[in-house]
């Protein structure tokens, strides 16, 4: 056994050790370009690209800009318990309440503008918890508490009950209709000011590096939930009650009392609380400024706003229309359009003059049957009608337009901080090319500290998937799987998985008549243990904001939540496998720790299986199909003969059987994970069929089955060796002209 100190349960971790973040040199230029660009581009980078080094470096710099300030209120930093922190935050909430109430009760048009502006923050909906649960952090007590609340925010397996869906429904009911947050024109449709996009970048950045910033995640989660700005603004009930989130905060503070880094972790957590309070005050002030600006707009100014929105799309359709001595197309093609001059000319144009019918030519043109029908929405048409009435009544023009500068001053401050942010722990490092499996496993588990490993991880995943296609032809010979390829139909898939279940997993089962000795059982368990220590990791990124729009995403996220015990430590599969190992007197370091590189309880030859699984998990978008197939393989593996034999062997020697029993139950083929995994594939391919047709279904299916085969490839190592040996034997002898001898070329 190792001489090292094992990893004890429960896991009382309050932060991971601070370490450098290693990025390939080219990434620094790419990240700088994002941060030097518009806030919209920053938001889209963090939300839309969840697989690249660039996003991780952008996230690290954003966190440096927002958290690197040393201006937290000493009174907040002096808080020593959850009650004191809660009192401080709830006083801040009370101070915001009058402003938020006034914004909620303002006129419909102004409220619409305010809610649209807030939407990029409102619809982030707890994203800072997206990947707090991962191989590097489980089974931490605090991570499990956070993940349990995240599961509730996600609707506990029913997304329609989740926070994001509830907020979207409320916005729709209030007449604020926006596309999904990940769509390319979302910020434009929301009318997002620079400050809004910059503020939204902070929780998005935190969601990309939660293991490295665990104290900050705890602080942000409590402060955002307890302040409840969006609930106050929307008039909705909190999805998580404040006292439930305060209980997590109290537990975290208690854990820091037992931690060597506790004092520093508490300060980091409280600094994050203070930052949230500052940002929410700042954004509320901006919304108030925006509402006041909008309420002060004259009818002329409101018309100018409508013209500005539509002018870029006017094209050349108005060549024959003249206004103020110029063609209308010339006015609208001008990049430096003088809105005041345009509105003044428009007021005097014949198109706005009353006619005998009591209206004007312009209003007639935008009604049904007119040449401009459908260009302006109902609210814009009403504004034009009121404006025409004011012109007809002889009301004087008000062309002193005040520009919308809401939030521009703090936005400039944050933009400057982002450009200056150069975290000392973000260091250039060449992509490694000569790592052994232990070293590679350490880096992909700790990918937040080793982003430069991503190209290696991608290559490793692709190589594993390519190798697995061997079983498309030979997979029927598998003992526990059948990866032989077949054309997809829902019926064909269900028939295949049922045959695997009965023929490979259930019917061959016979109770063991001889039980191996204690050492042999321990060795057998050690060959499975490394894969068990990363249980569920293949799906840990599936639920992330911005990529959870399919029913199959929600279904797979629910499986991951089950693997992690839905926040219940006693049901967490990583906890269970540590218990099993401890019953065998195997006490390992945590897989994230450098000490794990030197463990000698688990055999080297089986790292490839776990490496493949983690590598797949790092690419939830581009390897999504393969993850679905892999998920089917691993969930079916929990059933039948192998699992029953392991339970029998463990019981004979009085070892813990909780991990084996949990899988035999939760993976059941009637309604458990095995059946759900097949249903997930059917759901996904049904979406593909309706969107793109049958040919696309077969293309997508081939990739899914490649994922299943990649699981089988590691399980059926005897079959793979047999096929490889046969392939080598089939290679014809090579002729050596020098010796005229024939040697086998391998």
pLDDT tops 60 at residue 5: no
Higher-pLDDT residue of 441 and 638 is 441
**Which DSSP category does 4 fall into?**
S
| Domains 81-127+136-296 and 437-729 belong to one CATH topology | yes
Structure confidence by residue, pLDDT tens digits, 384-407: 999 999 999 999 999 989 999 999
Residue 746 binned pLDDT confidence (cut-offs 50, 70, 90)? very low
Structure confidence by residue, pLDDT tens digits, 588-625: 999 999 999 999 999 888 899 999 999 999 999 999 99
Collapse the DSSP code of 501 into the 3-class scheme (helix H, G, I; strand E, B; otherwise coil) and give the result.
helix
User: Which residues are bridge partners to 743 per DSSP?
Assistant: 734
Sign of the torsion formed by the C-alpha atoms of 137, 138, 140 and 146: positive
Higher-pLDDT residue of 403 and 744 is 403
**What pLDDT, on a 0 to 100 scale, did the predictor assign at position 6?**
59
pLDDT tops 60 at residue 349: yes
How crowded is residue 216: how many other Cβ atoms within 10 Å of its Cβ? 26
Residue 422 binned pLDDT confidence (cut-offs 50, 70, 90)? very high
String of DSSP letters for 75-104: HHHT--SHHHHHHHHHHHHHHHHHHHHHHH
**What pLDDT, on a 0 to 100 scale, did the predictor assign at position 315?**
61
Residue 2 binned pLDDT confidence (cut-offs 50, 70, 90)? very low
**What pLDDT, on a 0 to 100 scale, did the predictor assign at position 465?**
98
Q: What value does the mean pLDDT of the chain take?
A: 93
User: Any alpha helices (H) in 513-657, and if so which ranges?
Assistant: 518-532, 551-563, 573-583, 607-617, 624-636, 641-652
User: Any alpha helices (H) in 158-261, and if so which ranges?
Assistant: 163-173, 186-190, 194-208, 214-227, 229-234, 242-256
User: How distant, in Å, are the alpha carbons of 29, 43, 279, 419, 422 from that of 414?
Assistant: 20, 14, 11, 9, 14
User: How far apart are alpha carbons 192 and 546 in whole angstroms?
Assistant: 18
pLDDT above 70 coverage of the chain, percent:
97
- What's the CATH code, domain 437-729? 1.20.910
Collapse the DSSP code of 154 into the 3-class scheme (helix H, G, I; strand E, B; otherwise coil) and give the result.
coil
Lookup: tokens for 170: 């409320």
Give yes or no for a contact between 61 and 423, defined as CB atoms under 8 angstroms apart.
yes
Strands 322-323 and 326-327: antiparallel
Q: pTM for this one?
A: 0.94
**Surface-to-core class of residue 364, CB atoms within 10 Å of its CB (0-12 exposed, 13-18 middle, 19+ buried):** middle
**Surface-to-core class of residue 506, CB atoms within 10 Å of its CB (0-12 exposed, 13-18 middle, 19+ buried):** middle
Lookup: tokens for 85: 């922190």
Please determine, looking at this structure, whether the domain spanning 81-127+136-296 carries the CATH number 1.20.910.10: yes
**What pLDDT, on a 0 to 100 scale, did the predictor assign at position 742?**
34
Q: Select from 565, 566, 567, 560 the least CA-distant residue to 541.
A: 560
**What pLDDT, on a 0 to 100 scale, did the predictor assign at position 327?**
86
**What pLDDT, on a 0 to 100 scale, did the predictor assign at position 666?**
86
Residue 508 binned pLDDT confidence (cut-offs 50, 70, 90)? very high
Structure confidence by residue, pLDDT tens digits, 209-256: 999 999 999 999 999 999 999 999 999 999 999 999 999 999 999 999
Query: Which sequence spans correspond to the domains of the chain?
Result: 81-127+136-296, 299-392, 437-729
Structure confidence by residue, pLDDT tens digits, 166-202: 999 999 999 999 999 999 999 999 999 999 999 999 9
Residue 4 binned pLDDT confidence (cut-offs 50, 70, 90)? very low
pLDDT tops 60 at residue 433: yes
- In degrees, rounded to 5, the angle at the alpha carbon of residue 445 between the alpha carbons of residues 442 and 449 is 85
């Amino acid at each position: 056994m190792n001489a090292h100190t094992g990893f004890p349960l429960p896991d009382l971790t309050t932060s991971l050790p601070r370490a450098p973040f290693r990025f390939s040199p080219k990434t620094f230029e790419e990240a700088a370009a994002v941060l030097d660009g518009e806030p919209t581009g920053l938001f889209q980078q963090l939300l839309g690209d969840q697989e690249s080094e660039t996003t991780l470096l952008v996230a690290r710099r954003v966190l440096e800009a927002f958290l690197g300030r040393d201006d937290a209120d000493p009174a907040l930093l002096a808080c020593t318990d959850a009650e004191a922190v809660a009192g401080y935050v709830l006083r801040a909430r009370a101070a915001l309440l009058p402003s938020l109430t006034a914004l909620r009760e303002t006129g419909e048009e102004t409220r619409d503008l305010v809610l649209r502006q807030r939407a990029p923050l409102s619809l982030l909906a707890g994203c800072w918890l997206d990947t707090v649960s991962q191989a590097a952090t489980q089974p931490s007590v605090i991570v499990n508490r956070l993940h349990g609340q995240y599961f509730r925010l996600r609707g506990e397996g029913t997304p329609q009950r989740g926070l994001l869906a509830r907020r979207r429904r409320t916005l729709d009911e209030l007449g604020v209709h926006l596309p999904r947050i990940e769509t390319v024109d979302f910020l434009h449709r929301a009318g997002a000011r620079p400050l809004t996009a910059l503020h939204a970048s902070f929780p998005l950045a935190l969601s990309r590096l939660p293991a490295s910033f665990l104290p900050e995640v705890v602080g942000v989660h409590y402060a955002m939930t307890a302040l409840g700005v969006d609930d106050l603004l929307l008039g909705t009930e909190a999805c998580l009650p404040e006292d439930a989130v305060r209980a997590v905060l109290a537990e975290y503070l208690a854990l820091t009392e037992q931690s060597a880094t506790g004092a520093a972790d508490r300060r980091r957590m409280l600094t994050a609380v203070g930052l949230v309070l500052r940002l929410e005050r700042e954004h509320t002030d901006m919304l108030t400024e925006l509402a006041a600006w909008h309420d002060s707009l004259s009818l002329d100014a409101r018309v100018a706003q409508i013209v500005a929105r539509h002018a870029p799309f006017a094209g050349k359709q108005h060549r024959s229309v003249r206004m103020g001595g110029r063609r209308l197309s010339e006015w609208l093609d001008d990049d430096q359009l003088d809105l005041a001059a345009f509105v003044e000319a428009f007021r005097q144009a014949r198109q706005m003059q009353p006619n005998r019918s009591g209206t004007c030519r312009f209003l007639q043109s935008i009604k049904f049957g007119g040449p401009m029908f459908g260009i302006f929405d109902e609210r814009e048409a009403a504004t034009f009608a009121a404006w025409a009435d004011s012109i007809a009544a002889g009301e004087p023009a008000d062309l002193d337009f005040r520009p919308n500068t809401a939030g521009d001053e703090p936005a400039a401050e944050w933009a400057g901080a982002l450009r200056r942010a150069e975290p000392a722990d973000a260091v250039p490092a060449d992509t490694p090319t000569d790592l052994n499996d232990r070293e590679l496993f350490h880096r992909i588990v700790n990918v937040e500290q080793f982003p430069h490993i991503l190209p290696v991880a991608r290559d490793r995943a692709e190589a594993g998937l390519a190798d697995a296609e061997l079983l498309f032809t030979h997979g029927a010979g598998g003992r526990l799987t059948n990866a032989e390829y077949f054309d997809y139909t829902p019926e064909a898939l269900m028939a295949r998985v049922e045959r695997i279940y009965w023929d490979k997993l259930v019917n061959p089962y016979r109770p063991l008549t001889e039980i191996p000795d204690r050492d042999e059982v321990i060795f057998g368990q050690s060959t499975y243990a490394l894969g068990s220590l990363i249980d569920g990791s293949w799906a840990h990124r599936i639920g992330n904001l911005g990529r959870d729009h399919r029913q199959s995403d929600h279904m797979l996220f629910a499986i991951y939540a089950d693997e992690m015990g839905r926040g219940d430590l006693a049901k967490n599969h990583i906890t269970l496998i540590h218990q099993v190992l401890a019953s065998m007197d195997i006490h390992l370091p945590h897989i994230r720790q450098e000490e794990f590189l030197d463990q000698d309880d688990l055999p080297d030859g089986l790292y490839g299986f776990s490496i493949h699984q983690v590598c797949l998990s790092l690419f939830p978008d581009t390897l999504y199909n393969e993850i679905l197939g892999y998920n089917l393989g691993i969930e079916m593996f929990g059933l039948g003969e192998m699992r029953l034999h392991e339970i029998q062997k463990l019981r004979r020697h009085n070892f813990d059987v909780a991990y084996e029993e949990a899988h035999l139950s939760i993976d059941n083929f009637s309604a458990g994970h095995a059946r759900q995994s097949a249903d997930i594939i059917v759901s996904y391919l049904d979406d593909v069929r309706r969107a793109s047709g049958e040919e696309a279904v077969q293309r997508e299916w081939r990739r899914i089955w490649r994922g299943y085969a990649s699981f089988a490839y590691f399980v059926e190592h005897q079959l793979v060796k047999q096929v490889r040996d046969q392939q080598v034997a089939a290679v014809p002898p090579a002729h050596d002209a020098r010796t005229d001898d024939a040697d086998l070329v391998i």
